[in-house]
Amino acid sequence: MDPLPLPPPIIIKRNSSKLYHVMHLGLSFLFIFMSFGVAQLFQTSSDHARSGAVALFIVYGVFSLSNLLLSSYLTQIFGLKLTLFLSSLTYVSFVAMNISYNKYALYTASALLGLGAALIWTAQGSYVLILAREHETLNMMGISSQLGYFNGLFNSIFAMNQTLGNVIAALLFYYKVKESRIFIVMSVVGALGSLSILFLKNVKQEQKEKRSVLSSVSLLINPRMLFIMPIICYVGLSWTYIYGSIPPLILNNSLKFFAFVCFGLTSALSSIFFGKLSDHFHKRLVILFIGCCSHLLIYILLFTIWFPPIDQTKVFIFLIITCWLGVGDAIFATQLYSVLGMFFTSDNTKRPSSDIFANVKFLQAGSCAIGFFYNNYFNFKIQTVVIASTLGFGMVMLIICHYGFYSLDSEEKTIDNSDKVYKAVPLDQQ
């Protein structure tokens, strides 16, 4: 009797289309933030630096409050794609306000941008997370196995805005082009990014029960969120330091923008490298510690041997500062989003992802607003002590969280306190 023929082998084709959509979103953000980054850097180092700092305080203050009260709710109503498009227009309007300077028009645009920023970053976090989950499902991969790579891919493309935007600005300043013309160019660049969002793929949001405007606030008292809250706040303060305290150290506008080209390039390369590394290495705490060391090294050097005023002829100092800050910024951006996606998407409260990212941006933006406020009153040395202390406290809390309560590397609880037995407990059984 002849043996029965074997069935044809099942071939599983890897679906790369989800990566394409992440790259599309990253490119849209690249153009939008290429223009905004130039405007933001200009605000803290121009002839109107004080009113520029107030404008950024308004941006991040409204940004923070909008995340707490509105962003998750409105994102659920409008959908991710429409939210991304409408909120991107607020960035274009803010940049355009710099074409002809008017303090009060700038403040109004800043308030609108604060609301838009809350919406765009909440929608972005949800969009990338949903695409990562779909990719894992289609390719039969483990849950959270691709979060680092997807976040790293997005951030690597997005971070190039620092490189390209600052190259353009540096060249324009070098050739003494009028500021109004510089911001006309930047406004057009931002508008192109907004238009490209209209061609994004629509993704299906999580179908959750109807929630109130304040429904996402309760996540702030979640034990896991409490442990990672200090490092999230540090990231917000670090933006203030990078974009508010570092630029005035470099007096030449052309050199200033070229130094931030290095920041953007380093951040882009580090994002893709450390994002992929975390998915294979499965040691997020170790990678976060590397980011901590890269920032702490710069703070120590600035507090001691490189204390301002810095010799403007020693260009290498500015390049070292921006490069190492770029490495740390990339690590925190990729790893924290991976940890948050792992911690809360399997939460048995079934929260929408927009709740998660609304809370993160509330904390970051609130810290950023506080930073821009106290920068007007504290000298550089005090600012450096505050930022370094916050980083140290944040890392200590992450270490306590990882070894004492919740693993940062897998969906496990380090300790089951119910029976005082040390064992791994899945998060969805908490």
pLDDT for residue 215: 58
Q: What is the pTM of this model?
A: 0.73
Six-digit token string for 302: 């600035």
* Domain regions of the chain by residue span: 17-200+220-414+423-429
2 burial class (0-12, 13-18, 19+ CB within 10 angstroms)?
A: exposed
Query: In whole angstroms, what is the distance from residue 426 CA to residue 430 CA?
Result: 7
pLDDT for residue 4: 53
pLDDT for residue 346: 53
Nearest by Cα to 108 from 86, 87, 84, 90: 90
17-200+220-414+423-429 CATH fold: Growth Hormone; Chain: A; (1.20.1250)
pLDDT for residue 206: 62
pLDDT for residue 125: 85
Query: In whole angstroms, what is the distance from residue 284 CA to residue 306 CA?
Result: 31
Distance (Å) of CA 274 to CA 20, 264, 333, 347: 20, 15, 10, 26
pLDDT averaged per 10 residues, the chain (length 430): 52 61 93 86 62 79 80 84 95 89 86 92 88 80 71 85 80 80 89 95 68 64 88 92 88 83 88 82 87 95 90 90 94 85 62 72 85 83 94 94 84 50 44
Six-digit token string for 371: 């930073």
Find the helix packing angle between 223-240 and 353-374, rounded to 10°: 40
Distance (Å) of CA 109 to CA 49, 84, 87, 92, 209: 17, 18, 12, 10, 34
